[in-house]
Chains A and B, each alone.
Chain A
Amino acid sequence: MSGAGVSCPGCGSSNIVDDDLYSQAQMVCVDCGSVVSEGVLAHDPNGGSDVSYSWTTAVTRKPCVNLVKGLQRVKAICRILRVNKEIEDLSQTYYKQAYQHQTFIKVSLQKKEVLAGCCVLVSCRLLNWPITMATMSCLLDADPMVVGVVYQEMVKVLRIEAPIVNVTDVVEAHSQEYKISLLHVPEQLAENSKDLAKRAVALVELAADTWIVTGRKPIPIMMAAIYLAWQSLKPSKQRLKFTLDRFCQIAKVNKHRTALKRITEMKEVLCKLGREIPWVREEVTPDNVVRQVDDILKNRYALLRRALRTHEDALQAEDSVTEEVASSQASEPVEHTPNASAVELYGLNSERTQQPGDGNESPCTAPELQNDSQESQESAPNWGKRMLFAPPCVTHPKRRRAGLPGLQDVNGDEEISDSEIDSYIRTPREAREFALTQKILSLSESEKS
């Protein structure tokens, strides 16, 4: 090797070559001939010793270099996040344990780095200092899915039961990221971060109560909450005209597309509550609900109760109407096909008698499926539509292709017809043609490449 970065002490030239003509390898300067270094009599074999590190006795005398580096990395992550000493110590302990476990001792260095982040993550969760996995993946500059996989494996290996992150706890920290204070933006658009966080927390709590949060990723929800909070703290025309896109631009955060959906869902919930406000004359729509957000949040529990009660009353009124309709039909014999409305009524009545004051718990037993499968697809989400607040995946179910009915009444030992099996086998001519075509195709492929 020519001396990279090595200069001859005699003449200062960097033109140094490795001269192993003689029994002893030497580095010699080409220009002045002086020997820059003298090789040792015995080199370590190329590529390190024949025995790998884990087999040598160095394991006991000197800790693994990567383990040491990993622990330093854990410490660095903790310092960046500014967590307390307890969390730092706990994450280092976990890292040591996990690193030496057989599942992790032989993984790639990249995974070991991710492991460091996961140890910090789990320690934060255990010691009540919540951060999201997305934050950790940003910090590690790793794919969130990879972080997820390593995290789950680590938790399984170390047998940790870590509590889940409550979104409301993370909102405050998350809102710090938004550069929307007076220092960054003009006054009409600026907002005190404490007020913003407080209102966002209230919005997230409301969303959690009305099934918007469960099962969803937290960051788009927080983004939607912060956006709505910002708009509602000073609902001027200018602010209301701001789209999520522009808001993220001025706040210097990356927009999440799903945040738009969350905004729609939250606005729907706010509308449902806004309608219950006694002093609001005009109709509350998603467009003008932002102005009412302040009042809604202040009185949200009362409004929730009112809304549930109103909904229950509406349902009972509906049932009495169907009862009148059904009673005229009920006289007909119901031998062959169950009379849908009668049974539905029957089902509802029995539910009502058991759970009188529970408007939110609309019948889970609302008979969903009639004999006709098409009807069943429409009435299946019924239970969600009858509830005032239901998880959005229930009220707006994905339309699935109805599966083909397929075989029924199979006992596994039926006769298999020959013709059926023959239909799966090529005729000799077909096979020849297929082979020929394949050959032609492969030839043309090889010609191309």
Chain B
Amino acid sequence: MDESALERYFDDSIANDSCLSLEEELGVQSPAPVPEDSSFLSGKAGPSREPGEELDLSFLPDELSTQEEPGRHDDTALDTSQDSGIHPDYNSRDSTAAAAAAADPQQGAPMLGIGASPFCPMTPMTPMTPMTPVTERSGIIPQLQNIVSTVNLGCPLDLKFIALQARNAEYNPKRFAAVIMRIREPRTTALIFSSGKMVCTGAKSEEQSRLAARKYARVVQKLGFPARFLDFKIQNMVASCDVCFPIRLEGLVLTHQQFSSYEPELFPGLIYRMVKPRIVLLIFVSGKVVLTGAKERAEIYEAFENIYPILRGFRKQ
């Protein structure tokens, strides 16, 4: 009885307070898994089926390639995840294919005349479909490592009480004026302030961050506070990837001086502040790239696609 009442109350508060922002988010988030999944998997399945083929273009969309795609979408869509695991696998296949495609510009160029994303017929500006990460250029997809989000629980909180009643909370007012709470699934940490505002960190995707924030709000609710779920917002996204070749950072800082800062005495990586989109990239000699400062996934993908050709230029001494 209590359970269903709580659920209803919670869902009500979501519906009433943040309907606009949520709809937008839902609109952005939910269609995302499907096209990405299928696109990745079609790419993965492709090369294994035709090892003998010279140029494997199966990663390109249906209308442009000669193979049949629909069957693959259905059976492979189920056992894939949106992030993690499958992607590195995909990286290698696609880089191979990408390299193959890049070698043959006549075939590659006309297919991508549309713009950035061969899979998504709409331009990246449309809010409904996020920009897909695959282009003919890199085939590498940055993986999200950390999402920082904030939410307003909408009521003042007694931090001492929370620290006393909750198992997973720590509170040291002399050190920091917030309760640090952790949950196991999704593995995240939250800072809960007495004003009722909360910061949730450590999730690996936007949806996980939202789920985690809801769980924290639920815990606070169970402790007896009239917590709501207002203004959930992703504040920062961090992603990383590997271009798999070493990079001459000294050269990069020479040619892109207005954007780069490279001080080996202070930090081994080059700090590249991209203007559009406004993302900071940490580029290391090993070829690993960390992207941060994004509010949306598309910004990260766009930033990486912008930097990849620049980095390829520094591949050869």
Contacts and interface: CB of A to CB of B under 8 A. Distances in A.
A391 interface: yes
Task: Report which residue of A334, A371, A393, A424 has the largest number of chain B beta carbons within 10 angstroms of its beta carbon.
Answer: A424
Interface in B208-254: 208-211, 214-215, 218-219, 222-223, 243-250, 253-254
B103 A364 contact: no
B47 A338 contact: yes
B68 to A, nearest CB: 16
A277 B47 CA distance: 43
A214 to B, nearest CB: 4
A224 B243 CA distance: 30
Interface size class of B (residues with CB under 8 A): 35 or more
Contact of B30 (A394, A411, A418): A411
Chain A interface mostly: loop
A361 B96 contact: no
A256 to B, nearest CB: 13
B91 A369 contact: yes
Contacts of B167: 423-426, 430
A163 interface: yes
A51 interface: no
Interface stretch (A15-23, A32-40, A54-62, A401-409): A401-409
A409 B33 contact: yes
Nearest to A133: B265
Interface stretch (B116-124, B180-188, B293-301): B180-188
Nearest to A217: B265
A412 B166 contact: no
Contact of B89 (A334, A354, A369, A406): A369
Contacts of A390: 246
Contacts of A343: 47-48, 51, 92-93, 96
A106 to B, nearest CB: 24
Nearest to A358: B316
B263 interface: yes
Task: Report which residue of A163, A367, A413 has the largest number of chain B beta carbons within 10 angstroms of its beta carbon.
Answer: A413
A410 B218 contact: no
Nearest to B315: A361
Task: Report which residue of A164, A390, A435 has the largest number of chain B beta carbons within 10 angstroms of its beta carbon.
Answer: A164
A412 B51 contact: no
B187 A418 contact: no
Task: Report which residue of B92, B214, B254 has the largest number of chain A beta carbons within 10 angstroms of its beta carbon.
Answer: B92
A316 interface: no
B264 A215 contact: yes
A347 interface: yes
B29 interface: yes
A164 B250 contact: yes
A161 interface: yes
A148 interface: yes
Contact of B99 (A365, A424, A434): A365
Contact of B88 (A211, A368, A384, A407): A368
A409 B249 contact: no
Contacts of A394: 246, 286-287
Contacts of A152: 261, 263, 266
Given A391-B286, A394-B246, A421 B215 contact: yes
B26 to A, nearest CB: 8
A163 B261 CA distance: 10
B158 interface: no
A224 to B, nearest CB: 15
A418 B4 CA distance: 10
A84 to B, nearest CB: 24
A187 interface: no
Interface residues of A, number: 79
Task: Report which residue of A166, A420, A422 has the largest number of chain B beta carbons within 10 angstroms of its beta carbon.
Answer: A420
Contacts of A218: 264-265
Given A144-B265, A420-B215, A425-B166, A367 B81 contact: no
Contacts of B164: 426, 431, 434-435
A427 to B, nearest CB: 9
B29 A364 contact: no
Contact of A409 (B7, B82, B244): B82
Nearest to B187: A406
B269 interface: yes
A387 B285 CA distance: 14
A422 to B, nearest CB: 7
Contacts of A351: 99
A410 B266 contact: no
Contacts of A407: 185-186, 208, 211
Contacts of B195: none
Nearest to B244: A364
Contacts of B247: 214
B168 interface: yes
Interface string B100-144: 100100000000000000000000000000000000000000000
**4 tightest CB-CB pairs across the interface, nearest first?**
A367-B92, A412-B210, A408-B81, A412-B207
Given A211-B246, A365-B99, 13 more contacts: A152-B261, A155-B261, A215-B284, A330-B51, A350-B96, A373-B85, A383-B245, A391-B285, A394-B287, A410-B186, A411-B29, A412-B29, A422-B222
24 contacts: A134-B265, A144-B265, A163-B257, A164-B262, A215-B249, A218-B264, A335-B48, A354-B103, A368-B91, A369-B89, A369-B92, A394-B246, A394-B287, A406-B186, A407-B185, A407-B211, A409-B82, A412-B25, A412-B211, A416-B211, A420-B215, A421-B215, A426-B164, A434-B164
Interface of B: 3, 6-7, 25-26, 29-30, 33, 44, 47-49, 51, 54, 81-85, 88-89, 91-93, 95-96, 98-100, 103, 164-168, 181, 183, 185-187, 204-211, 214-215, 218-219, 222-223, 243-250, 253-254, 257-258, 261-266, 268-269, 284-287, 315-317
